[in-house]
Amino acid sequence: MTAALSRADRAATVLFRRVAALHTALLRRTGGRVGNRFRGGDVVLVTCRGWRSGQPRTTPLLHVRDGADLVVAASDGGIDADRPRLWAALMARCDAYDGYRARVSRRIAVVRLSPAQATATG
């Protein structure tokens, strides 16, 4: 069972979603020239389909490079195998993650984003 959010947490969630939507619009409108860095980290737009709705959702996330891959922090999923090394890389790149980690009681997951191979379609 999920604990109910406090009024302050609900307000913060609404504010965060609005700021993220504005940030996404700014990145798209400027072709990534404005808003591509935040608090010392590089920003990538990640689009996923909503689990229930199936609708695409795009959010700006801070990331670090790990070879050809990008690594991001995630609130609801992720990988554990390389987490200590990749979390340290995220922390070294942008100290905002330390404050985020201090505000939440759950473990923040790390997700690796690998480039998709182009496929021929017929």
pLDDT at 22 over 70: yes
What's the predicted TM-score (pTM) here?
Answer: 0.58
Q: Tell me whether residue 41 is in a domain.
A: yes
CA atoms within 13 A on the CB side of 20: 16
What is the amino acid identity at position 56? P
Q: Tell me whether residue 97 is in a domain.
A: yes
Residue 82: band (very low, low, confident or very high) from pLDDT cuts 50, 70, 90: low
User: What integer pLDDT is reported at residue 76 of this predicted model?
Assistant: 46
The vertex-55 CA angle with 121 and 108, nearest 5°, equals 100
Domain that holds residue 64: 36-113
Q: Tell me whether residue 50 is in a domain.
A: yes
Q: How many structural domains comprise the chain?
A: 1
Q: Tell me whether residue 25 is in a domain.
A: no
Q: Tell me whether residue 53 is in a domain.
A: yes
Q: Tell me whether residue 71 is in a domain.
A: yes
CATH of the domain at 59: 2.30.110.10
From the number of C-beta atoms within 10 Å of its C-beta (0-12, 13-18, 19+), residue 86 rates as buried
Cα distance between residue 87 and residue 75, in whole Å:
13
